């Protein structure tokens, strides 16, 4: 899993149709933590593919997507989370999640 990096992907999309498209796209690459927050373990190629797909969906004037690099899924990427309330299950490995 050394070639994968864990990313927190969060978005703010202004239109319901684009919001559903963005959610469906990101669901293909990672695990949902909250409504608009995903955890994605991606290779460089997968990250490029995800960004390309999202680029074609969003309205760049009003929508926003944040990509936060968390490091290796087996090191910092696994241990840098702290939650209040319900703690979502984090993926144990950085294996592929693309459907």
Handedness of CA 12, 78, 81, 31 (dihedral sign): positive
The pTM assigned to this predicted structure is: 0.84
Phi then psi dihedrals of residue 93, to 5 deg: -125, 170
Phi then psi dihedrals of residue 26, to 5 deg: -70, -30
Predicted confidence (pLDDT) per residue in 20-58, tens digit? 999 999 999 999 999 999 999 999 999 999 999 999 999
Q: How confident is the model at residue 89 (pLDDT cuts 50, 70, 90)?
A: confident
- Spatial distance between the Cα atoms of 76 and 68, rounded to a whole number of angstroms: 13
The CA-to-CA distance between both ends of the chain, in Å, stands at 18
Containing 38, the helix (H) or strand (E) segment is strand 37-42
């Amino acid at each position: 899993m050394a070639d994968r990096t864990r990313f927190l992907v969060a978005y703010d999309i202004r239109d319901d149709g684009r919001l559903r498209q963005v959610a469906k796209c990101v669901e293909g690459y990672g695990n949902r933590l909250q409504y608009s927050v995903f955890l994605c373990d991606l290779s460089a190629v997968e990250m490029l593919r995800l960004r390309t797909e999202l680029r074609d969906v969003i309205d760049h004037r009003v929508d926003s997507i944040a990509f936060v690099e968390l490091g290796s899924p087996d090191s910092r990427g696994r241990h840098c989370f702290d939650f209040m309330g319900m703690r979502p299950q984090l993926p144990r490995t950085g294996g592929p999640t693309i459907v």
